[in-house]
Amino acid sequence: MKESENFIDIQGARVHNLKDVSLKIPREKLVVITGLSGSGKSSLAFDTIYAEGQRRYMETFSAYIRQFIGNLERPDVDKIDGLSPVIAIEQKTTSKSPRSTVGTITELYDYIRLLFARVGTAYSYVSQEKMVNYSDDQILQLILEEYMEKKIIILSPLIKARKGHYRELFESLSRQGFLRVRVDGEIMDLKPGMRVDRYKTHDIELIVDRIKVKKDENDLKRLIDSIKTAMHYGEESIVLIDLETEQTRYFSRKLMCPSSGISYSLPEPNSFSFNSPKGMCLNCKGLGNQFEVSRNKIIPDDRLSIEKGGIAPLGELKSNWGFKQMEVIAKRYKFSLSDPIKIIPEQALEVILKGGKEKFSIASNSLGITRDYKIDYEGIENFIKNQFDNTDSTGIKRWAQSYMDEKRCSVCEGARLKQESLNFKIDKLNIAEVSALDLGDLYFWFENLSNKLSTNELIVANQIIKEIKSRLQFLLDVGLNYLALNRSSKSLSGGEAQRIRLATQIGSQLVGVLYILDEPSIGLHQRDNEKLINSLQSLRDIGNSVIVVEHDKDMILRADHIIDIGPMAGKNGGEIISQGSPKMLKKQQTLTAQYLNNQKKIELPKFRRKGNGKSIILSGCSGNNLKNIDVEIPLGIMIGVSGVSGSGKSTLINETLYPILNSFIYNGVKPPLPYKKIEGLKYLDKVVDVNQSPIGRTPRSNPATYCGMFSEIRNLFTLTPEAQIRGYKPGRFSFNVKGGRCETCQGGGMKVIEMNFLPDVHVECESCNGKRFNRETLEIRFKGKSIADVLEMTVNQACSFFINHPKIYRKLKTVQDVGLGYITLGQSSTTLSGGEAQRIKLATELSKKDTGQTLFILDEPTTGLHFEDIRVLMEVLDQLVKKGNTVLIIEHNMDVIKLVDHLIDIGPEGGKKGGTLVGQGTPEEIVKIKKSYTGKHLAKELKTV
């Protein structure tokens, strides 16, 4: 076998901070890439190996196709050999679409739809009876058996419980030669101009024939013809009335309720799809939720008058059509626009909000001529609803939505499907109820389903059930037993989305593929780590190569091969400092090896702080899976919130506590999930949510602009004598506006050259040589440096440079303190990792003056962080607490949990089996709770330190 078939051979990789790296990565092994945050791990795994794999895949398309799908930029690397097809499984949320669920992205819901279409039993939503369907021969045989020598009427059901005058229908039937219809149980002759009350619901049936059932050949032929005619007009359904007993009987080729006569079409997989018109609830269009106009948002304060902005969508009094209508209504109902809304007559308020049948007369002056107009007034609520439903404008839709609440659909109650679809059942459950089961319970349900189906049903369902169970098992293996198939994709964390993709890939059983994963252990409790590692090893064992960017100790030690990148981060990283087996790595003296050998460790605090004696007490939390829990959050200390994945940590903190605090302190509008009471809000004057979302969406955003120091730096440049002489203002030193920037590249520093059928080439701008600014701007010097020179400085260099400028220095020093001294001031924010982005946000908050009454909330801050990065981060957070603030961390990492002063453990399991308070207290107290999984793993950490 050639060496290139055993290894991925990379020569001269220079992407981002990689320093001409050359290495060989063994194929069909589990390889872990580790190192400090910002050392170059993602640059090697994703921006070099994956980017080249994607580029080669795109090259396989014809030139004609490539011009439509674009080309990928070639990574800066001399050569990569031995590269097989590459699939990257990253931490990005799968889909923002409200139509995407766990079931749709795993394709499990497609199999379940197929199962319900093939073996589901239909029940009537009126009588709950089992639905039946007949062939034409069966219908004829039943009529001959049950109605022999009896007089019957054969009817076609045309309209079932619908409003309308139906004049056109009656005229059409009359033209076709029919003489009678039955309307709401009463037989009527068809007459010219016939119509019914359009505002009432009606049942209309066409009388096809009145016949005595006999076996005579002519009578039999007439009966058969009448059945066919009735079937044609009744859309495969007919009604029979026994004239002697006046009993009604229903028959249908479709599924039909024998007592009420309602019918369903024969099921197909699309009948159970909330993304198809055949299956979706027509009220909410398959979303499960609908927006309803909120009276509280239209009238936020009923003490205000209409002219003072009491009706929010109208604003304050102005001369426009809306207020002209208000004046007419006020005159009609005898109130003034200056009256507080709370004293306006209820009838008048109802008309203002909902409109009415009454027409109003409004005088309008145009070109000196006054005319009276009679207008229909639709009401503010209806106007907002119509704007939301009928506009294509994003801005108008957003405006309308600001006066609406999202509520569960009143028709399907969140199930997303039509009434008919929800009345097909297997083992007493409909498809929405099956989709609502936790994946663990769902697997158990399918495990037992074979015993509940008939022999014929099993022949059809066996293969489908086998496929469903196989895919479910892969999801359980990666620790996702607490999720349900109806869970919206946009509510998944990055770690959950990544593990779903991983399970899907294992289920696909591809061979010879290179998988690259970005920290799959994120969001996963230590308890479930073993399952995840086994899943990755099974992916390797079937003949794939697996590269994982990871910091988890267990994952590193179970790898076949480790690549350690460093020695430090940023410009001081980008080198392969060690590679080999875990045994070989432990013999090295790299930072990673020192932590693996316990030569270096994150030390326990000398004592646990008690806090300032004040607390926030949150009672009766019952959102999602929380089971009416009460939690005390002591202030002035560091608090951890732990528990297995899906136990309810984010529900408690991000979706209940944070919205309450945000509303109280900043008048935030996002409603919290249900709770009964909160005490102690007066002890806080600020709440800060520090998450890992990017600090900028464009390459023009950088740490200097985000932290707010770039404005101060530009001000310094305007104070130089040369800038004063030339009259330069701060805008002159911005690369985002005309004046001082290089117009050739518009301040980007790079030019993009389109190569048609080849990838676009990014080249340094020849006018400014990548400096972003024009020659005149670069002539201005501060302490010998141009504005471009300053942006190229690392934070460490800038700290020395601006040491005599307190405003700038304070902001730089906090960035340095959080361990980001290696990044440059002008580094594009799109190149920063999630961990780096979070620490920049933290540094920005640290640099602000605070009162010591701030609550900092961090959700898994250790994402993307090496052991050493975690040590630095925890020192920074400790400084915040020493200033009197409170730090609340949602975390699974034991290196963090062992350092907190107070731990809130939620669980014991995920999903429906979680949501209870397992315990709260110091880490030492949690260790004593037997049912705490966190305590079990924490005990090992407290012993080894």
Read off the pLDDT of residues 353-384 as tens digits, 9 standing for 90 and up: 998 777 777 766 665 565 666 777 888 999 99
Residue-level pLDDT at 410: 92
Show the domain range for 374.
Answer: 289-408
User: Is the model more confident about 367 or about 665?
Assistant: 665
- Structure tokens that stand for 110 in this block: 């497609």
Res 4 pLDDT > 80: no
User: CA-CA distance, 896 to 902, in Å (whole number)?
Assistant: 12
**Predicted local distance difference test score (pLDDT) of residue 468:** 96
**Under DSSP, is residue 563 helix (H, G, I), strand (E, B) or coil?**
strand
Whether residue 729 sits in one domain with residue 810: yes
* pLDDT tens readout for residues 877-902: 998 999 899 999 999 999 999 999 99
The pLDDT of residue 945 is: 46
When mean pLDDT is compared across 137-151, 690-704, 866-880, the lowest value belongs to: 690-704
Of the candidates 590, 607, 608, the one whose C-alpha atom is nearest the C-alpha of residue 599 is 590
Each residue of 731-779: pLDDT tens digit? 999 999 899 999 998 998 887 766 555 556 567 788 998 899 999 999 9
So what's the pLDDT on residue 198? 87
Asked whether residue 680 is domain-assigned, the answer is yes
Side-chain-side CA neighbours of residue 254 (13 Å)? 20
Same domain, 254 and 361: no
Domain assignment of residue 464, yes or no: no
Task: Confirm whether 103 is domain-assigned.
Answer: no
Pairwise CA distance, residues 821 & 815, whole Å: 7
Q: Where are the alpha helices (DSSP H) in 581-657?
A: 582-586, 591-596, 649-652
Whether residue 479 lies inside any domain: the answer is no
CATH of the domain at 7: 3.40.50.300
Instruction: CATH number of the domain at 736, please.
Output: 1.20.1580.10
Contact 882, 610 (CB under 8 A): no
pLDDT at 259: 80
d(CA 604, CA 646): 28
Q: Which residue has the higher pLDDT, 88 or 67?
A: 88
DSSP string of 112-172, one letter each residue:
HHHHHHHHPEEB-TTT-PBPB---HHHHHHHHHHHSTT-EEEEEEEEEEEEES--HHHHHH
Residue in 533, 475, 480 with CA at minimum distance from that of residue 505 = 475
Q: Residue written as tokens 């050639």?
A: 2
Tens-place pLDDT, residues 787-798: 999 999 999 999
Over range 18-43, report the average pLDDT: 94
CA distance to 406, 776, 777, 786, 792, per residue, from 723 (Å): 54, 10, 9, 12, 21
At residue 204, does pLDDT exceed 70?
A: yes
Whether the CB-CB separation of 937 and 526 falls below 8 Å is answered with yes
Hey, what amino acid is at 291? Answer: F
Residues 133 and 255 in one domain: yes
Q: Examine the domain organization and report whether 683 and 737 are in the same domain.
A: no
Per-residue model confidence as pLDDT tens digits over 317-360: 676 777 888 888 888 889 998 999 999 999 999 999 998 777 77
Residue 484 lies in a domain: no
Lowest average pLDDT, out of 59-73, 137-151, 800-814, 894-908, goes to 59-73
Residue 389, pLDDT score:
86
Asked if residue 874 and residue 819 are part of one domain, the reply reads: no
State the SS3 of 300-334. CCCCCECCCCCCCCCCCCCCCHHHHHHHHHHHHHC
> Do 909 and 930 lie in a common domain?
yes
SS3 for 178? coil
The answer to whether the CB of 750 falls within 8 A of the CB of 700 is: no
The residue behind tokens 């039909």 is 256
pLDDT band at 2 (very low <50, low <70, confident <90, very high): low
pLDDT at 696: 73
Share of the chain above pLDDT 90, in %: 63
Provide the CA 122 distance to its chain's centre, in angstroms.
Answer: 33
CB 333 within 8 A of CB 327: no
DSSP 75-94: PSEEEEES---EEEE-SS-S
Report pLDDT for 832.
77
Question: Which of 567, 582, 603 marks a domain boundary?
Answer: 567
Amino acid 509: pLDDT: 86
Domain final residue, candidates 775, 798, 831? 831
Do 667 and 736 share a domain, yes or no? no
Domain-located, residue 57: yes
Same-domain pairing of 139 and 236: yes
Average pLDDT for 22-44: 94
Which pLDDT does position 760 carry in this prediction?
Answer: 61
As given in the structure block, the two tokens for residue 794 are 């690392």
Residue 821 tokens read as: 């001294």
Angle at 210 between CA 208 and CA 213, to 5 degrees: 120
Lowest-confidence segment of 208-222, 585-599, 818-832 by average pLDDT: 818-832
From 408, 427, 455, give the residue that closes a domain. 408
The answer to whether the CB of 685 falls within 8 A of the CB of 564 is no
3-state DSSP of 836-859: HHHHHHHHHHHCCCCCCCEEEEEE
In angstroms, the CA 538 to CA 209 distance is 69
Tell me the CATH number at 307.
1.10.8.280
- Give yes or no: residues 241 and 128 share one domain: yes
Per-residue pLDDT band at 70 (split at 50, 70, 90) = low
Do 398 and 381 form a contact (C-beta atoms < 8 A)? Answer: no
Summarised one tens digit per residue, pLDDT across range 425-439 is 999 999 999 999 999
Residues 717 and 813 in one domain: yes
Helices (H), 411-528: 431-435, 439-449, 455-477, 494-508
- Name residues whose C-beta falls within 8 Å of residue 512's C-beta, 6 or more positions apart in sequence: 84, 85, 543, 544
Average pLDDT value for residue range 671-689:
94
* pLDDT of 43 over the 80 cut: yes
d(CA 78, CA 14): 9
Q: 253-300 pLDDT, tens per residue?
A: 888 888 888 888 889 999 999 999 999 999 999 999 999 999 988 998
pLDDT on residue 58: 84
Q: Where does 818-932 have alpha helices with state H?
A: 834-846, 867-882, 894-897, 923-927
The 10s digit of each residue's pLDDT in 159-190 is 988 888 999 999 999 999 999 999 999 999 99
pLDDT at 102 > cutoff 50: yes
- Other CB atoms within 10 Å distance of the CB of residue 633: 23
**Residue-level pLDDT at 1:** 43
> Which is more confidently placed, 398 or 835?
398
Number of domains in the chain: 5
Please write the tens of the pLDDT for every residue from 734-745: 999 899 999 998
Average per-residue pLDDT for the chain:
90
Does residue 82 share a domain with residue 135?
no
Structural element, H or E, at residue 759? strand 758-764
Structure confidence at residue 505 (pLDDT) = 87
Is 116 inside any structural domain? no
User: Angle 129-132-138 (CA atoms, 0-180°, nearest 5)?
Assistant: 145
Q: Is residue 440 part of a domain?
A: no
Structure confidence at residue 364 (pLDDT): 65
- Answer yes or no: do 806 and 891 share one domain: no
